[in-house]
Structure 1
Amino acid sequence: METYRTEEEQVEAIKHWWRENGKSTALGVAIALSLVFGWRGWNNYQADRAAEASVLYENLLQADAAVQSNGSKRETAEHLANTLKDGFSGHSYAQYAALIQAKYAVNDGDYDAAEAELNWVLAQGPDAAIKAQTQLRLARVQFAKGELDAALAIAEGLKDGSAAVQALELQGDVMRAQGDKAAALEAYRQADAINRQQENPLNNPLLKMKINSLAAEQGADKNTTAQN
Protein backbone atom coordinates (compact mmCIF):
# COMPACT_ATOMS: atom_id res chain seq x y z
CA MET A 1 0.00 0.00 0.00
CA GLU A 2 1.34 3.45 -0.87
CA THR A 3 2.38 5.55 2.14
CA TYR A 4 1.87 9.32 1.98
CA ARG A 5 4.44 11.51 3.70
CA THR A 6 2.21 14.34 4.74
CA GLU A 7 -1.45 14.99 5.53
CA GLU A 8 -1.59 17.31 2.48
CA GLU A 9 -0.55 14.46 0.23
CA GLN A 10 -3.28 12.26 1.71
CA VAL A 11 -5.92 14.95 1.12
CA GLU A 12 -4.72 15.45 -2.44
CA ALA A 13 -4.83 11.72 -3.10
CA ILE A 14 -8.43 11.57 -1.85
CA LYS A 15 -9.39 14.49 -4.09
CA HIS A 16 -7.77 12.80 -7.07
CA TRP A 17 -9.58 9.52 -6.39
CA TRP A 18 -12.89 11.36 -6.08
CA ARG A 19 -12.32 13.16 -9.39
CA GLU A 20 -11.65 9.81 -11.04
CA ASN A 21 -14.27 7.68 -9.32
CA GLY A 22 -16.70 9.95 -7.51
CA LYS A 23 -19.32 10.22 -10.25
CA SER A 24 -19.56 6.49 -10.81
CA THR A 25 -19.63 5.86 -7.07
CA ALA A 26 -22.39 8.41 -6.54
CA LEU A 27 -24.35 6.89 -9.41
CA GLY A 28 -23.95 3.42 -7.94
CA VAL A 29 -25.12 4.62 -4.55
CA ALA A 30 -28.10 6.38 -6.14
CA ILE A 31 -29.06 3.25 -8.08
CA ALA A 32 -28.72 1.10 -4.96
CA LEU A 33 -30.85 3.48 -2.94
CA SER A 34 -33.51 3.67 -5.65
CA LEU A 35 -33.67 -0.12 -5.77
CA VAL A 36 -33.99 -0.39 -2.00
CA PHE A 37 -36.65 2.28 -1.69
CA GLY A 38 -38.37 1.11 -4.87
CA TRP A 39 -38.61 -2.42 -3.49
CA ARG A 40 -39.91 -1.13 -0.19
CA GLY A 41 -42.42 1.03 -2.00
CA TRP A 42 -43.61 -1.95 -4.05
CA ASN A 43 -43.93 -4.09 -0.94
CA ASN A 44 -45.88 -1.34 0.80
CA TYR A 45 -48.14 -1.02 -2.23
CA GLN A 46 -48.75 -4.75 -2.27
CA ALA A 47 -49.50 -4.76 1.45
CA ASP A 48 -51.97 -1.90 1.02
CA ARG A 49 -53.68 -3.74 -1.84
CA ALA A 50 -53.94 -6.93 0.20
CA ALA A 51 -55.40 -5.00 3.13
CA GLU A 52 -57.96 -3.34 0.84
CA ALA A 53 -58.92 -6.70 -0.65
CA SER A 54 -59.24 -8.17 2.85
CA VAL A 55 -61.67 -5.44 3.92
CA LEU A 56 -63.77 -5.92 0.79
CA TYR A 57 -63.86 -9.66 1.35
CA GLU A 58 -64.92 -9.26 5.00
CA ASN A 59 -67.77 -7.03 3.81
CA LEU A 60 -68.65 -9.65 1.20
CA LEU A 61 -68.82 -12.37 3.85
CA GLN A 62 -71.16 -10.23 5.93
CA ALA A 63 -73.39 -9.57 2.93
CA ASP A 64 -73.32 -13.26 1.99
CA ALA A 65 -74.37 -14.20 5.52
CA ALA A 66 -77.41 -11.97 5.07
CA VAL A 67 -78.14 -13.62 1.72
CA GLN A 68 -78.05 -17.05 3.33
CA SER A 69 -80.09 -15.93 6.32
CA ASN A 70 -82.99 -14.05 4.75
CA GLY A 71 -82.16 -13.41 1.09
CA SER A 72 -81.25 -9.75 1.63
CA LYS A 73 -78.11 -7.93 0.44
CA ARG A 74 -77.72 -10.14 -2.64
CA GLU A 75 -77.07 -7.07 -4.79
CA THR A 76 -74.47 -5.79 -2.31
CA ALA A 77 -72.76 -9.16 -2.22
CA GLU A 78 -72.56 -9.38 -5.99
CA HIS A 79 -71.25 -5.82 -6.26
CA LEU A 80 -68.48 -6.57 -3.75
CA ALA A 81 -67.65 -9.85 -5.51
CA ASN A 82 -67.36 -8.09 -8.86
CA THR A 83 -65.19 -5.37 -7.32
CA LEU A 84 -62.80 -7.99 -5.99
CA LYS A 85 -62.71 -9.84 -9.30
CA ASP A 86 -62.14 -6.68 -11.34
CA GLY A 87 -59.53 -5.08 -9.12
CA PHE A 88 -57.82 -7.92 -7.27
CA SER A 89 -57.89 -10.96 -9.56
CA GLY A 90 -54.46 -12.05 -8.39
CA HIS A 91 -55.61 -12.39 -4.79
CA SER A 92 -57.30 -15.46 -3.35
CA TYR A 93 -60.01 -13.12 -2.03
CA ALA A 94 -61.18 -12.52 -5.61
CA GLN A 95 -61.19 -16.24 -6.31
CA TYR A 96 -63.30 -16.94 -3.24
CA ALA A 97 -65.60 -14.13 -4.35
CA ALA A 98 -66.13 -15.91 -7.67
CA LEU A 99 -66.91 -19.12 -5.79
CA ILE A 100 -69.63 -17.26 -3.90
CA GLN A 101 -71.06 -15.98 -7.17
CA ALA A 102 -71.00 -19.52 -8.55
CA LYS A 103 -72.96 -20.63 -5.49
CA TYR A 104 -75.62 -17.99 -6.18
CA ALA A 105 -75.83 -19.11 -9.81
CA VAL A 106 -76.33 -22.74 -8.75
CA ASN A 107 -79.06 -21.71 -6.33
CA ASP A 108 -80.73 -19.86 -9.21
CA GLY A 109 -80.44 -22.95 -11.42
CA ASP A 110 -78.19 -21.03 -13.82
CA TYR A 111 -75.55 -23.68 -14.31
CA ASP A 112 -73.95 -21.97 -17.29
CA ALA A 113 -73.25 -18.87 -15.18
CA ALA A 114 -71.90 -21.04 -12.37
CA GLU A 115 -69.60 -22.85 -14.79
CA ALA A 116 -68.32 -19.52 -16.12
CA GLU A 117 -67.45 -18.32 -12.60
CA LEU A 118 -65.65 -21.56 -11.77
CA ASN A 119 -63.68 -21.51 -15.00
CA TRP A 120 -62.70 -17.89 -14.21
CA VAL A 121 -61.22 -19.05 -10.91
CA LEU A 122 -59.22 -21.79 -12.60
CA ALA A 123 -57.93 -19.30 -15.19
CA GLN A 124 -56.34 -17.23 -12.39
CA GLY A 125 -53.94 -20.04 -11.47
CA PRO A 126 -55.19 -20.54 -7.89
CA ASP A 127 -53.25 -22.44 -5.25
CA ALA A 128 -53.74 -26.19 -4.91
CA ALA A 129 -56.47 -26.02 -2.25
CA ILE A 130 -58.63 -23.51 -4.13
CA LYS A 131 -58.03 -25.33 -7.41
CA ALA A 132 -59.24 -28.67 -6.02
CA GLN A 133 -62.30 -27.05 -4.44
CA THR A 134 -63.13 -25.26 -7.68
CA GLN A 135 -62.67 -28.35 -9.84
CA LEU A 136 -64.93 -30.35 -7.53
CA ARG A 137 -67.65 -27.72 -7.76
CA LEU A 138 -67.24 -27.57 -11.53
CA ALA A 139 -67.70 -31.35 -11.75
CA ARG A 140 -70.87 -31.09 -9.66
CA VAL A 141 -72.21 -28.37 -11.94
CA GLN A 142 -71.47 -30.49 -14.99
CA PHE A 143 -73.22 -33.44 -13.34
CA ALA A 144 -76.25 -31.25 -12.71
CA LYS A 145 -76.19 -30.22 -16.39
CA GLY A 146 -76.14 -33.86 -17.45
CA GLU A 147 -72.57 -33.65 -18.74
CA LEU A 148 -71.70 -36.96 -17.12
CA ASP A 149 -68.47 -37.77 -18.97
CA ALA A 150 -67.02 -34.32 -18.25
CA ALA A 151 -67.95 -34.57 -14.57
CA LEU A 152 -66.46 -38.06 -14.35
CA ALA A 153 -63.18 -36.92 -15.93
CA ILE A 154 -62.72 -34.17 -13.35
CA ALA A 155 -63.67 -36.45 -10.45
CA GLU A 156 -61.17 -39.04 -11.67
CA GLY A 157 -58.38 -36.46 -11.51
CA LEU A 158 -59.21 -35.56 -7.90
CA LYS A 159 -59.26 -39.07 -6.42
CA ASP A 160 -55.68 -38.93 -5.15
CA GLY A 161 -55.79 -35.47 -3.60
CA SER A 162 -57.30 -33.66 -0.64
CA ALA A 163 -60.78 -33.85 -2.19
CA ALA A 164 -60.64 -37.63 -2.69
CA VAL A 165 -63.66 -38.42 -0.54
CA GLN A 166 -65.95 -35.93 -2.28
CA ALA A 167 -64.55 -36.85 -5.70
CA LEU A 168 -65.21 -40.56 -5.19
CA GLU A 169 -68.72 -39.86 -3.93
CA LEU A 170 -69.38 -37.74 -7.01
CA GLN A 171 -67.90 -40.48 -9.19
CA GLY A 172 -70.39 -42.87 -7.61
CA ASP A 173 -73.25 -40.47 -8.35
CA VAL A 174 -72.21 -40.22 -11.99
CA MET A 175 -71.80 -43.97 -12.42
CA ARG A 176 -75.16 -44.58 -10.82
CA ALA A 177 -76.73 -42.11 -13.22
CA GLN A 178 -75.03 -43.99 -16.05
CA GLY A 179 -76.60 -47.22 -14.82
CA ASP A 180 -73.41 -48.87 -13.54
CA LYS A 181 -74.58 -49.72 -10.03
CA ALA A 182 -71.66 -52.02 -9.19
CA ALA A 183 -69.06 -49.38 -10.05
CA ALA A 184 -71.07 -46.73 -8.22
CA LEU A 185 -71.24 -48.82 -5.05
CA GLU A 186 -67.50 -49.48 -5.23
CA ALA A 187 -66.80 -45.74 -5.54
CA TYR A 188 -69.06 -44.98 -2.55
CA ARG A 189 -67.33 -47.63 -0.45
CA GLN A 190 -63.90 -46.29 -1.38
CA ALA A 191 -65.02 -42.80 -0.39
CA ASP A 192 -66.26 -44.10 2.95
CA ALA A 193 -63.06 -46.07 3.61
CA ILE A 194 -60.81 -43.08 2.85
CA ASN A 195 -63.00 -40.84 5.00
CA ARG A 196 -62.74 -43.19 7.99
CA GLN A 197 -58.94 -43.19 7.68
CA GLN A 198 -58.70 -39.41 7.91
CA GLU A 199 -57.65 -37.67 11.08
CA ASN A 200 -60.84 -35.61 11.01
CA PRO A 201 -63.44 -37.65 9.08
CA LEU A 202 -66.25 -35.80 7.36
CA ASN A 203 -69.71 -36.20 8.84
CA ASN A 204 -71.56 -37.43 5.78
CA PRO A 205 -74.67 -39.50 6.65
CA LEU A 206 -75.85 -39.13 3.04
CA LEU A 207 -72.91 -41.21 1.84
CA LYS A 208 -73.91 -44.00 4.24
CA MET A 209 -77.47 -43.82 2.93
CA LYS A 210 -76.23 -44.11 -0.66
CA ILE A 211 -74.15 -47.17 0.20
CA ASN A 212 -77.00 -48.90 2.04
CA SER A 213 -79.56 -48.01 -0.62
CA LEU A 214 -77.43 -49.17 -3.52
CA ALA A 215 -76.34 -52.35 -1.70
CA ALA A 216 -80.02 -53.14 -1.08
CA GLU A 217 -80.83 -52.48 -4.73
CA GLN A 218 -78.07 -54.81 -5.86
CA GLY A 219 -79.28 -57.49 -3.47
CA ALA A 220 -82.81 -57.17 -4.80
CA ASP A 221 -81.54 -57.33 -8.38
CA LYS A 222 -79.63 -60.55 -7.62
CA ASN A 223 -82.70 -62.12 -6.03
CA THR A 224 -84.81 -61.20 -9.04
CA THR A 225 -82.23 -62.65 -11.40
CA ALA A 226 -82.04 -65.89 -9.36
CA GLN A 227 -85.82 -66.28 -9.36
CA ASN A 228 -85.94 -65.84 -13.12
Structure 2
Amino acid sequence: MAKHLDLEEQEQLDEIKHFWKQYGNAITWVLIAVLGAYAAWNGYQYWQRSQASQAAAMYDEVEKVSREGDADKLQRAFDDMKSRFASTAYAPQAGLLVAKTLYESGKVDGAKAALTWVAEKSADAGYASVGRLRLAGLLMDSKAYDEALKVLDTGMTEEFAALQADRRGDILLAQGKKPEAKEQYLKAFKAFDDRTDYRRLVMVKLNSLGVDPLADAAAPVAADKGAASK
Protein backbone atom coordinates (compact mmCIF):
# COMPACT_ATOMS: atom_id res chain seq x y z
CA MET A 1 0.00 0.00 0.00
CA ALA A 2 2.82 2.34 0.95
CA LYS A 3 4.61 1.58 -2.27
CA HIS A 4 1.40 2.27 -4.21
CA LEU A 5 1.04 5.66 -2.54
CA ASP A 6 4.71 6.40 -3.14
CA LEU A 7 4.23 5.69 -6.82
CA GLU A 8 1.18 7.97 -7.00
CA GLU A 9 3.04 10.75 -5.21
CA GLN A 10 5.99 10.32 -7.53
CA GLU A 11 3.71 10.51 -10.57
CA GLN A 12 2.09 13.68 -9.22
CA LEU A 13 5.49 15.17 -8.52
CA ASP A 14 6.65 14.30 -12.03
CA GLU A 15 3.51 15.92 -13.46
CA ILE A 16 4.13 19.08 -11.43
CA LYS A 17 7.75 19.19 -12.57
CA HIS A 18 6.69 18.73 -16.17
CA PHE A 19 4.01 21.42 -15.88
CA TRP A 20 6.42 23.88 -14.25
CA LYS A 21 9.11 23.13 -16.81
CA GLN A 22 6.62 23.88 -19.60
CA TYR A 23 4.79 26.89 -18.10
CA GLY A 24 6.96 28.03 -15.20
CA ASN A 25 8.70 30.86 -17.03
CA ALA A 26 5.42 32.23 -18.40
CA ILE A 27 3.80 32.16 -14.97
CA THR A 28 6.82 33.87 -13.42
CA TRP A 29 6.77 36.65 -16.01
CA VAL A 30 3.02 37.18 -15.52
CA LEU A 31 3.51 37.44 -11.78
CA ILE A 32 6.38 39.88 -12.26
CA ALA A 33 4.25 41.99 -14.61
CA VAL A 34 1.28 42.03 -12.21
CA LEU A 35 3.37 42.86 -9.17
CA GLY A 36 5.32 45.44 -11.15
CA ALA A 37 2.11 47.12 -12.33
CA TYR A 38 0.78 47.13 -8.77
CA ALA A 39 3.99 48.66 -7.48
CA ALA A 40 3.99 51.23 -10.29
CA TRP A 41 0.37 52.18 -9.55
CA ASN A 42 1.14 52.64 -5.86
CA GLY A 43 4.21 54.66 -6.77
CA TYR A 44 2.18 56.84 -9.15
CA GLN A 45 -0.48 57.42 -6.50
CA TYR A 46 2.19 58.41 -3.99
CA TRP A 47 3.82 60.71 -6.56
CA GLN A 48 0.47 62.37 -7.32
CA ARG A 49 -0.23 62.94 -3.63
CA SER A 50 3.26 64.34 -3.18
CA GLN A 51 2.88 66.61 -6.22
CA ALA A 52 -0.49 67.86 -5.03
CA SER A 53 0.85 68.55 -1.55
CA GLN A 54 3.86 70.47 -2.85
CA ALA A 55 1.73 72.35 -5.40
CA ALA A 56 -0.71 73.36 -2.65
CA ALA A 57 2.17 74.70 -0.57
CA MET A 58 3.47 76.67 -3.53
CA TYR A 59 0.00 78.06 -4.26
CA ASP A 60 -0.13 79.29 -0.68
CA GLU A 61 3.15 81.07 -1.36
CA VAL A 62 1.71 82.67 -4.51
CA GLU A 63 -1.29 83.85 -2.47
CA LYS A 64 1.01 85.31 0.17
CA VAL A 65 3.14 87.17 -2.40
CA SER A 66 -0.04 88.37 -4.11
CA ARG A 67 -1.20 90.00 -0.88
CA GLU A 68 2.18 91.66 -0.50
CA GLY A 69 1.82 93.27 -3.93
CA ASP A 70 5.38 92.61 -5.11
CA ALA A 71 4.80 92.07 -8.84
CA ASP A 72 8.33 90.86 -9.65
CA LYS A 73 8.35 88.36 -6.79
CA LEU A 74 4.86 87.23 -7.77
CA GLN A 75 6.00 86.58 -11.34
CA ARG A 76 8.95 84.53 -10.12
CA ALA A 77 6.69 82.47 -7.87
CA PHE A 78 4.30 81.81 -10.75
CA ASP A 79 7.17 80.88 -13.08
CA ASP A 80 8.34 78.37 -10.47
CA MET A 81 4.82 76.96 -10.18
CA LYS A 82 4.56 76.55 -13.97
CA SER A 83 7.92 74.84 -14.27
CA ARG A 84 7.31 72.35 -11.44
CA PHE A 85 3.57 71.78 -11.16
CA ALA A 86 2.01 72.77 -14.49
CA SER A 87 -0.06 69.57 -14.62
CA THR A 88 -1.80 70.19 -11.29
CA ALA A 89 -5.02 72.16 -10.77
CA TYR A 90 -3.13 74.61 -8.58
CA ALA A 91 -1.16 76.00 -11.52
CA PRO A 92 -4.12 77.51 -13.43
CA GLN A 93 -5.61 78.68 -10.14
CA ALA A 94 -2.36 80.50 -9.47
CA GLY A 95 -2.39 81.89 -13.01
CA LEU A 96 -5.85 83.41 -12.53
CA LEU A 97 -4.82 84.92 -9.21
CA VAL A 98 -1.58 86.31 -10.64
CA ALA A 99 -3.47 87.84 -13.59
CA LYS A 100 -5.96 89.53 -11.26
CA THR A 101 -3.20 90.92 -9.02
CA LEU A 102 -1.09 92.18 -11.91
CA TYR A 103 -4.08 93.78 -13.60
CA GLU A 104 -5.08 95.59 -10.42
CA SER A 105 -1.52 96.88 -10.06
CA GLY A 106 -1.60 98.25 -13.62
CA LYS A 107 0.59 95.57 -15.20
CA VAL A 108 -1.82 94.65 -17.98
CA ASP A 109 0.76 92.90 -20.18
CA GLY A 110 1.73 90.63 -17.30
CA ALA A 111 -1.93 89.85 -16.66
CA LYS A 112 -2.45 88.98 -20.33
CA ALA A 113 0.59 86.68 -20.28
CA ALA A 114 -0.68 84.85 -17.20
CA LEU A 115 -4.17 84.42 -18.70
CA THR A 116 -2.70 83.27 -22.00
CA TRP A 117 -0.80 80.54 -20.17
CA VAL A 118 -3.95 79.43 -18.34
CA ALA A 119 -5.96 79.44 -21.58
CA GLU A 120 -3.40 77.49 -23.58
CA LYS A 121 -1.56 75.31 -21.05
CA SER A 122 -4.02 74.44 -18.31
CA ALA A 123 -4.60 70.71 -17.95
CA ASP A 124 -8.13 71.50 -16.74
CA ALA A 125 -10.55 72.54 -19.51
CA GLY A 126 -12.70 74.49 -17.07
CA TYR A 127 -9.84 76.70 -15.91
CA ALA A 128 -8.74 77.11 -19.53
CA SER A 129 -12.23 78.39 -20.40
CA VAL A 130 -12.18 80.87 -17.52
CA GLY A 131 -8.76 82.04 -18.69
CA ARG A 132 -10.08 82.59 -22.21
CA LEU A 133 -13.07 84.58 -20.98
CA ARG A 134 -10.92 86.86 -18.85
CA LEU A 135 -8.26 87.22 -21.53
CA ALA A 136 -10.92 88.18 -24.07
CA GLY A 137 -12.12 90.84 -21.64
CA LEU A 138 -8.65 92.34 -21.30
CA LEU A 139 -8.15 92.31 -25.06
CA MET A 140 -11.52 94.02 -25.51
CA ASP A 141 -10.45 96.74 -23.05
CA SER A 142 -7.32 97.18 -25.17
CA LYS A 143 -9.53 97.49 -28.28
CA ALA A 144 -7.97 94.33 -29.74
CA TYR A 145 -11.44 93.18 -30.76
CA ASP A 146 -10.57 90.67 -33.47
CA GLU A 147 -7.99 89.02 -31.25
CA ALA A 148 -10.50 88.87 -28.40
CA LEU A 149 -13.07 87.13 -30.60
CA LYS A 150 -10.41 84.71 -31.81
CA VAL A 151 -9.59 83.77 -28.21
CA LEU A 152 -13.24 82.81 -27.69
CA ASP A 153 -13.48 80.74 -30.86
CA THR A 154 -11.75 77.62 -29.56
CA GLY A 155 -11.05 75.80 -26.32
CA MET A 156 -14.32 76.69 -24.57
CA THR A 157 -16.24 73.93 -22.82
CA GLU A 158 -20.01 73.57 -23.23
CA GLU A 159 -20.59 74.66 -19.63
CA PHE A 160 -19.29 78.12 -20.53
CA ALA A 161 -21.34 78.52 -23.73
CA ALA A 162 -23.64 81.16 -22.24
CA LEU A 163 -20.79 83.26 -20.87
CA GLN A 164 -18.95 82.80 -24.16
CA ALA A 165 -21.90 84.22 -26.11
CA ASP A 166 -22.31 87.08 -23.64
CA ARG A 167 -18.65 88.04 -23.94
CA ARG A 168 -18.90 87.89 -27.72
CA GLY A 169 -21.88 90.23 -27.50
CA ASP A 170 -19.83 92.71 -25.43
CA ILE A 171 -17.01 92.69 -27.98
CA LEU A 172 -19.31 93.06 -30.98
CA LEU A 173 -21.17 95.90 -29.28
CA ALA A 174 -17.86 97.65 -28.59
CA GLN A 175 -17.18 97.36 -32.34
CA GLY A 176 -20.51 99.02 -33.08
CA LYS A 177 -22.00 95.82 -34.52
CA LYS A 178 -25.38 96.00 -32.78
CA PRO A 179 -27.30 93.36 -34.79
CA GLU A 180 -24.52 90.80 -34.22
CA ALA A 181 -24.31 91.77 -30.55
CA LYS A 182 -28.08 91.29 -30.12
CA GLU A 183 -27.81 87.83 -31.66
CA GLN A 184 -25.09 86.80 -29.21
CA TYR A 185 -26.91 88.29 -26.20
CA LEU A 186 -30.09 86.42 -27.17
CA LYS A 187 -28.06 83.23 -27.48
CA ALA A 188 -26.61 83.82 -24.01
CA PHE A 189 -30.03 84.66 -22.55
CA LYS A 190 -31.51 81.41 -23.83
CA ALA A 191 -28.53 79.38 -22.63
CA PHE A 192 -28.59 80.68 -19.05
CA ASP A 193 -30.81 78.96 -16.51
CA ASP A 194 -33.92 80.98 -15.57
CA ARG A 195 -32.73 81.22 -11.98
CA THR A 196 -29.27 82.53 -12.83
CA ASP A 197 -28.71 86.12 -11.72
CA TYR A 198 -26.37 86.75 -14.65
CA ARG A 199 -29.31 86.14 -16.99
CA ARG A 200 -30.90 89.34 -15.69
CA LEU A 201 -27.75 91.26 -16.60
CA VAL A 202 -27.94 89.92 -20.15
CA MET A 203 -31.59 90.98 -20.27
CA VAL A 204 -30.57 94.52 -19.25
CA LYS A 205 -28.06 94.56 -22.12
CA LEU A 206 -30.76 93.42 -24.54
CA ASN A 207 -33.21 96.01 -23.20
CA SER A 208 -30.64 98.73 -23.83
CA LEU A 209 -30.59 97.59 -27.46
CA GLY A 210 -34.37 97.73 -27.71
CA VAL A 211 -34.93 94.01 -27.31
CA ASP A 212 -37.26 92.39 -24.76
CA PRO A 213 -36.26 88.71 -24.74
CA LEU A 214 -39.23 87.75 -22.58
CA ALA A 215 -41.71 89.37 -24.97
CA ASP A 216 -39.96 87.76 -27.95
CA ALA A 217 -40.22 84.38 -26.27
CA ALA A 218 -43.92 84.88 -25.52
CA ALA A 219 -44.82 86.05 -29.04
CA PRO A 220 -44.60 82.62 -30.75
CA VAL A 221 -46.73 81.13 -27.96
CA ALA A 222 -49.42 83.78 -28.45
CA ALA A 223 -49.32 83.24 -32.21
CA ASP A 224 -49.76 79.51 -31.78
CA LYS A 225 -52.79 80.03 -29.51
CA GLY A 226 -54.36 82.38 -32.04
CA ALA A 227 -53.88 79.90 -34.82
CA ALA A 228 -55.36 77.12 -32.72
CA SER A 229 -58.49 79.15 -31.90
CA LYS A 230 -59.20 79.56 -35.61
Q: TM-score range by the shorter chain?
A: 0.5 to 0.7
Q: Distance in 1 between matches of 2:163 and 2:34?
A: 53
Select the residue among 94, 99, 102 that pairs with 2:91: 94
> 1:202 is matched by which residue type in structure 2?
Y
Measured in 1, the distance between the counterparts of 2:181 and 2:108 equals 24
Structure-1 separation of matches of 2:160 and 2:22? 66
Query: Alpha carbons of 1:211 and 1:26: their partners in 2 closer, same or farther (altered >3 Å)?
Result: closer
Change (3 A) 1:190 1:25: closer
Residue 52 (structure 2) aligns with: 50
The answer (yes or no) to whether the contact 1:85–1:97 under 8 Å persists in 2 is no
Q: 1:191 to 1:56 in 2, by over 3 A?
A: same
Aligned mates of 1:21, 1:168 — CA distance in 2:
64
Report the CA distance shift for 1:7/1:155 in structure 2 as closer, same or farther (over 3 A). Answer: closer
Shift of 1:41: 1.5
Distance 1:12 1:80, change over 3 A: same
Count of matched residue positions in the alignment of Structure 1 and Structure 2: 207
Using the alignment, how far apart are the partners of 2:20 and 2:158 within structure 1?
64
1:139 to 136, 140, 162: 136
Aligned partners of 1:169 and 1:188 also within 8 Å: yes
Alpha-carbon separation, structure 2, partners of 1:198 and 1:171:
21
Closer, same or farther: CA 164–7 of 1 in aligned 2, 3 Å: closer
Name the Cα RMSD after superposition: 3.8
Corresponding residue for residue 220 of structure 1: none
Residue number among 180, 192, 196 corresponding to 1:200 in the alignment: 196
For the Cα contact (< 8 Å) 1:169–1:207, is it kept in 2? Answer: no
What corresponds to 2:9 in structure 1?
Answer: 7
1:32-111 pair list within 5 angstroms: 32-61=34-63, 64=66, 67=67, 71-72=68-69, 78-111=75-108
State the 1:157 CA deviation.
6.1
Q: Deviations over 1:69-100 (max 9, x none)?
A: xx557666555433321111111211121122
2:127 corresponds to which letter in structure 1? Answer: I
Unaligned runs of 5+ in 2: 1-5, 211-230
Q: What runs of 5+ residues in structure 1 fail to find an aligned partner?
A: 216-228
Distance between the aligned counterparts of 1:182 and 1:20, measured in 2?
Answer: 79
Distance in 1 between the 2:170 and 2:125 partners? 24
Q: Give the TM-score normalised by the residue count of structure 2.
A: 0.67
List per-residue Cα deviations over 1:147-196 (Å, max 9, x = no partner): 1122234446699943344434433432333233454456556545654x
Give the Å deviation of 1:16.
4.2
8 Å CA contact retained: 1:105, 1:111: yes
Residues 193 and 160 of structure 1: CA distance in aligned 2, closer, same or farther (over 3 Å): farther
- Per-residue deviation at 1:101? 1.8
Whichever residue aligns with residue 149 of structure 1, its letter is: D
Aligned CA distance change for structure 1 residues 161 and 24 (closer, same or farther; 3 Å)? closer
Verify the 8 A CA contact 1:98 1:118 in the aligned structure 2.
yes
Does the Cα contact within 8 Å between 2:169 and 2:180 map onto a contact in 1?
A: yes
Q: Which amino acid aligns with 2:8?
A: T
